[in-house]
Structure 1
Amino acid sequence: MSAARSRALDWLLPPLCLACRNPVGDHHALCPHCWGGVAFITAPVCDRLGTPLPYDIGPGAVSPEAIANPPAFDRARAAFRFDDVGRSLIHGLKYGDRLELAPALARWMARAGRDVLDGADALVPVPLHWTRLFRRRFNQSAELARHLSALTGIATEPMLMKRVRRTAHQVGLTRARRIENVTGAFRIAEDRSTLVRGRNLVLVDDVLTTGATLEACARVLRRAGAARIDVLTAARVVDGPGAVHI
């Protein structure tokens, strides 16, 4: 009966590529062309920033960028680069209300973030301001964290952090303006403060561009006593073979 229902569903709603919407063999999959267009980030990567390194120089290697500008978080990992097909997937989830993308993105994130998820006590999605959440009806970061939680068994804490100040959209802003935009925008929910001190937390977001938002969240968690703060995103901006905005 289950197989019959599955065939009937495929007939009514045939599986389509997550990116280009052309027919594919399975739900929540990419066609061969789009799969080849996703620039997955694989080892070797900078241990702090998770950006690709030109060659493997051993465990714990860090990039010049991480040495010159160490981030407020401990480590960051991302599944793929924010370009071409990757950008269309992120925009589909974030702006196109395509929640069916979240399970696939979460699977790729779980694979890319194995080391930061190891020993994590909780997943903390980057919060939206209530006005933006009201208009969008969902928080894409919370959706990714929810599916990551189901895959890994790590608890998700969508109410741990609050965005207490409505900020302008970060798109198009310089790094300096982005930092100014999110300064003082986040705090720990009063009834969740005990969930931070001494715990290993993973901040979850859809994309890391300059990193200003995630840095602001990490500083708040650090001041609240978190033992370890890592970052896991579906995508990240990478300029050139090893450069990164942080």
Structure 2
Amino acid sequence: MGIGSRLGANLKEGLRPIVDLVYPPRCPLCGDAIADQGGLCVECWAELEVPGEPACKSCNRPMGSDGTKRDTECTPCQLDPPRHSGIHAATLYDDASRKLILTFKHGGKIALSRLLGRLMAARLPDPVQGKEPLLIPVPLHRLRLWERGYNQAALLARELEKRGKGTLFVDALVRIRRTPSLGGLGREERERALRGAIAARASRIHRLKGRDVVLVDDVLTSGATSDACVAALLEAGAASVRIACFARVVSGVGGREPSAIFAKTHPTNETPEVVKTPGAT
């Protein structure tokens, strides 16, 4: 750490009591008082569901009793082998993760990127020195970026870089055209809507060749968007692509299908697939 970084860290630490006095730390989920900024209360921590074992060896999908054998693949991966090299999700999509995502993504609370990024980093393996992967966020179309003011995936990728999980490459991908809302569409319809919409930026392809990549997003729903990104990266010469996300949709988590969660209260949300999964991209 350089002198400037140490001074910045010391200044930040010295100002913390003043910040806490003006803005008392509150849990972003329930609003209860907590000890430090950027955390959750004990009760809300307990509501987040973290993926566990056993899991699919290819996509890390939780498998329950079906995955008791080592190196087992889930049925979707057996029927349609993925092109990615694995998925690392901080949480499974449920009411608690949904609220965090919507607050972060549509509520403008970009400071939550630190909390979400920290949880994502905990699920990613530490890179081998000298072989750090490129951290590439799922891109937004320029009009959506202008409307929102920030790309939530890029903020999360920056947090992963701060935690030593790779090197940020923020503009490697470009969304060539704005895709329609994917909510309520089947997988084939989603794939058709995304066909040709995402590509590697021509001026950045030379940096992708032969590199391992971690594709970063906030929510992984059907996988149509991430599949389009993975295809574009591999076609541009990337050696491998893993996916890191804060929340992953798995049918039935929390006792309900994702389509039932908040469908009535967010029927016209602009985010693709939001009718099925509020907050998903």
- Matched AA of 1:143: L
Q: Secondary structure at the match of 1:43?
A: coil
- Matched AA of 1:133: L
Paired residue total: 243
Partner of 1:80: 91
CA deviation string 1:91-130 (max 9, x = no partner): 1111111111111111111111227x56542011000000
Determine what percentage of the aligned residue pairs are the same residue.
34
Corresponding residue to 1:16 among 16, 26, 47: 26
Partner of 1:89: 100
- Matched AA of 2:151: N
Distance 1:153 1:82 in 2: 23
Question: TM-score, normalising length from structure 2?
Answer: 0.80
Q: Secondary structure at the match of 1:104?
A: helix
- Compared with structure 1, are the counterparts of its residues 153 and 65 closer, same or farther at alpha carbon in structure 2 (3 Å cutoff)? closer
Partner of 1:44: 54
Partner of 1:177: 189
Partner of 1:191: 203
- Matched AA of 2:189: R
Corresponding residue to 2:248 among 232, 236, 240: 236
CA contact (8 A) 2:180 2:193 kept: yes
Judge which range, 39-48 or 155-164, deviates more: 39-48
Partner of 2:277: none
- Matched AA of 1:110: A
Distance 2:133 2:162 in 1: 14
The answer to whether the aligner puts 1:66 opposite 2:73 as a matched pair is no
Root-mean-square deviation over aligned CA pairs: 2.3
Distance 2:72 2:115 in 1: 29
CA contact (8 A) 1:77 1:112 kept: yes
CA shift, 1:173, in A, is 2.5
CA shift, 1:153, in A, is 5.1
5+ residue gaps, structure 1, are none
Question: TM-score, normalising length from structure 1?
Answer: 0.91
CA shift, 1:171, in A, is 2.9
- Compared with structure 1, are the counterparts of its residues 228 and 60 closer, same or farther at alpha carbon in structure 2 (3 Å cutoff)? farther
Partner of 1:214: 226
- Matched AA of 2:170: P
The answer to whether the aligner puts 1:141 opposite 2:153 as a matched pair is yes
Q: Which has the higher contact order (CA 8 A, sep 6+)?
A: 1
Partner of 1:150: 162
Q: Secondary structure at the match of 1:127?
A: coil
Q: Secondary structure at the match of 1:192?
A: helix
CA shift, 1:47, in A, is 2.2
- Compared with structure 1, are the counterparts of its residues 4 and 113 closer, same or farther at alpha carbon in structure 2 (3 Å cutoff)? closer
Distance 1:9 1:190 in 2: 44
Distance 1:124 1:199 in 2: 12
